[in-house]
Amino acid sequence: MNILPQHTKHKVLLAVYAALFVLCIAVIAFVHQGEQKARQSQGLAQLQSITATLSEQIPAGHIRSLLERYDARGLVIKNTQDAWYYVLHERLSRSAVRNELELPLEILVHDTVKHELQVIVTSAEEPHFRFPWDADAEIMLANYGTAGHTTRTTEGGPELIAFEPIREPSGKVMGMVVARHAPDMASTAARSSLLRNIGIALAVFGLIGFLLFRYVGGWLSADAEDHQRIKARNEDMTDGMEYAAKIQRALVPSALVYDELFAESFIIDRPKDLVSGDFHWVYRIDADTCYVAAADCTGHGLPGAMMAAIGCSLLNEVVPQHADKDPAEILSILHTRMVAALNQKGKQRGAGDGMDVALCRVDRKANEILFAGAFRPLYWLHQEQLSVINGDRRPVGGGHHHEDRKFTSHRLAYLPGDRIYLFSDGYVDQFGGPERKRFMTTRLHDLILQNKHLPLKEQALVIERAFLEWKGPLEQMDDVCMLGLAV
């Protein structure tokens, strides 16, 4: 291997170092601009979701009663003065607090006599009953009665505004619910991110520069053969992982299968590595009946993928042989088969690998769902209410003193259009957020309820985006698999 002269090494490293520094500055500037736009888009999407939800929840009759009862400005001076006002104020206030809005939520009406846009109810502590709206009334009047969003230019920056009409059953517009983000919402967050990125870049480049020029001779004189051997070994490992991922994709059902069997469906599949220990599964018994499952096997990466292959293969073998049995019986059979397959008989309690699984039998002819779970729940959206049906606190597989393991079967009578959700624990166990805590099932529960009006494919985008925003720069803790079905 040819060795470069010492002064040439320094020149090469200096040129590379300078090019990387310039590239880093350009990337930071590009990311900063993109982050500002992304935060504005996220802010508008959040506001639209808030106004759309509130427009469905706020009774138009309450607004009509307030307008008929108080026909002059300033007649409502306290939030508790009028029962209807208090109810509307509390609903706006809870939504503003829950969504951490800087500016108050407002219900506006168009006074055709005074030709002005007036505030009727606000989430602020002090009522502004029938006072003129202090923002851009011309834009709102031009869009009165329609849903949408806009951006208002102010001295502090762009103010984000979303609005949605509140209609009577006859279709008449009684008012508009308006949500706003303060002008510095996106710019402050993006500026903070920019300063953080610049600080990290300076620290990293300072360290890189020190290491490069202090140890340049040793780095450039490293043995090329060792480098090639390490590179070849890594390529072999990557090729093996990619091939394992290909095999796993062949074992797991295609998303098209769920679209054929159900009115709507979505799949969120985010392995921690190239391959996953989580998988979703479906088996069609006849034209009206099928089994569906979401499973979480011990481990992730290649060990988890091996367990997932065993679990998926056992499901493919056991369910067709016992299609007449309910999910609880099938889980018991799966447990026995997995213990035998992994030679776990007689091992200490808790020893060995296993599988957590949520298994459902969906019968469209009887409008019935049978569910059994091993450490995994079923979320059931029925008549606008989300119910959690917990599985048993025992896994499928794993060494245990008692070979037989019983599970509980739950029978649900569903209505067309109901939704069910099966998922592994990787989503709710992810660390993130401002305090680096777990996402938790409560947030997932609220997230599904807040977006229950969306088609499942769009709801999946919201759920996945919420996961990525929560995770932020942190490492993904575990494999993530979620299955949503409209039965």
Residue 88 lies in a domain: yes
CB neighbour burial string for 452-464, b if at least 16 within 10 angstroms, e if fewer: eebebeebbebbb
Of 187, 204, 222, the residue at which a domain comes to its end is: 187
pLDDT digits (tens, 9 = 90+) for 381-418: 999 999 999 999 999 987 664 667 899 999 999 999 99
pLDDT at 186: 52
Q: Is residue 328 scored above 80 in pLDDT?
A: yes
d(CA 151, CA 139): 10
Percent of the chain at pLDDT > 90 equals: 54
Edge-to-edge, what's the strand order for the sheet holding 131-132? 131-132, 116-122, 106-111, 173-181, 157-167, 148-154
pLDDT at 138: 85
pLDDT at 196: 76
Environment class of residue 431 by beta-carbon count within 10 Å: exposed (0-12), middle (13-18) or buried (19+)? middle
pLDDT at 399: 63
pLDDT at 222: 56
Contact 159, 135 (CB under 8 A): yes
Q: Are residues 171 and 37 in the same domain?
A: yes
Domain CATH number, residue 479: 3.60.40.10
d(CA 13, CA 252): 48
Residue predicted with more confidence, 171 or 215: 171
Q: How confident is the model at residue 12 (pLDDT cuts 50, 70, 90)?
A: low
Q: Is residue 1 scored above 50 in pLDDT?
A: no
Residue 414 lies in a domain: yes
Q: Are residues 250 and 126 in the same domain?
A: no
Environment class of residue 409 by beta-carbon count within 10 Å: exposed (0-12), middle (13-18) or buried (19+)? middle
Q: Are residues 291 and 360 in the same domain?
A: yes
What does the pLDDT average to over 82-91? 91
Residue 210 lies in a domain: no
Domain that holds residue 307: 239-486
pLDDT digits (tens, 9 = 90+) for 262-287: 999 999 999 998 888 999 999 999 99
Domain CATH number, residue 106: 3.30.450.20
d(CA 81, CA 13): 74
Of 169, 187, 205, the residue at which a domain comes to its end is: 187
d(CA 315, CA 157): 57
Contact 358, 420 (CB under 8 A): no
Residue 79 lies in a domain: yes
Q: How many Cβ atoms from other residues are within 10 Å of residue 338's Cβ? A: 24
How many domains does the chain contain in total? 2
Percent of the chain at pLDDT > 70 equals: 86
Instruction: Please state the pTM of the whole predicted model.
Output: 0.54
Q: How confident is the model at residue 228 (pLDDT cuts 50, 70, 90)?
A: low
pLDDT digits (tens, 9 = 90+) for 167-201: 999 989 999 999 998 876 555 655 666 677 777 87
Tell me the CA distances in angstroms from 254 to 224, 268, 356, 427, one per residue in order.
44, 12, 21, 21
Contacts of residue 36, defined as CB under 8 A and 6 or more positions apart, other chains included, come to 186, 187, 190
Q: Is residue 219 scored above 60 in pLDDT?
A: no
What does the pLDDT average to over 7-12? 63
Tell me the CA distances in angstroms from 421 to 111, 359, 370, 467, one per residue in order.
46, 11, 14, 16
- Amino acid at the residue 57: Q
Q: Can you name the residues that pair with 392 across neighbouring β-strands?
A: 374
pLDDT at 364: 93
**What six digits make up the tokens of 161?**
């505004």
Determine which helix (DSSP H) or strand (DSSP E) holds 267, and give its type and residue range: strand 264-270
Determine which helix (DSSP H) or strand (DSSP E) holds 85, and give its type and residue range: helix 83-98
Tell me the CA distances in angstroms from 132 to 109, 162, 172, 466, one per residue in order.
10, 18, 22, 37
pLDDT digits (tens, 9 = 90+) for 438-450: 999 999 999 999 9
The pairs formed by 464-472 with CB atoms below 8 angstroms and a separation of 24 or more are: 464/268, 464/270, 467/268, 467/270, 467/427, 467/430, 467/439, 469/42, 469/432, 470/430, 470/432, 470/433, 470/439, 470/443, 471/430, 471/431, 471/432, 472/432, 472/433
Q: How confident is the model at residue 159 (pLDDT cuts 50, 70, 90)?
A: confident
Q: Are residues 339 and 461 in the same domain?
A: yes
* Radius of gyration of the chain, Cα coordinates, nearest whole angstrom: 29
Residue 431 lies in a domain: yes
Q: Are residues 266 and 132 in the same domain?
A: no
**Mean of the per-residue pLDDT values for the chain?**
86
Residue predicted with more confidence, 93 or 399: 93
Of 161, 187, 213, the residue at which a domain comes to its end is: 187
Q: Can you name the residues that pair with 420 across neighbouring β-strands?
A: 380, 485
What percent of the chain is helix, strand and coil (3-state, nearest 5)? 45, 25, 30
Q: Are residues 297 and 171 in the same domain?
A: no
**Least trusted range by pLDDT, from 19-33, 101-115, 362-376:** 19-33
- Greatest mean pLDDT among 77-91, 223-237, 314-328 lies in 314-328
Q: Are residues 179 and 245 in the same domain?
A: no
Tallying the residues shown for the chain, one arrives at 487
Q: Are residues 181 and 267 in the same domain?
A: no
What does the pLDDT average to over 453-481? 96
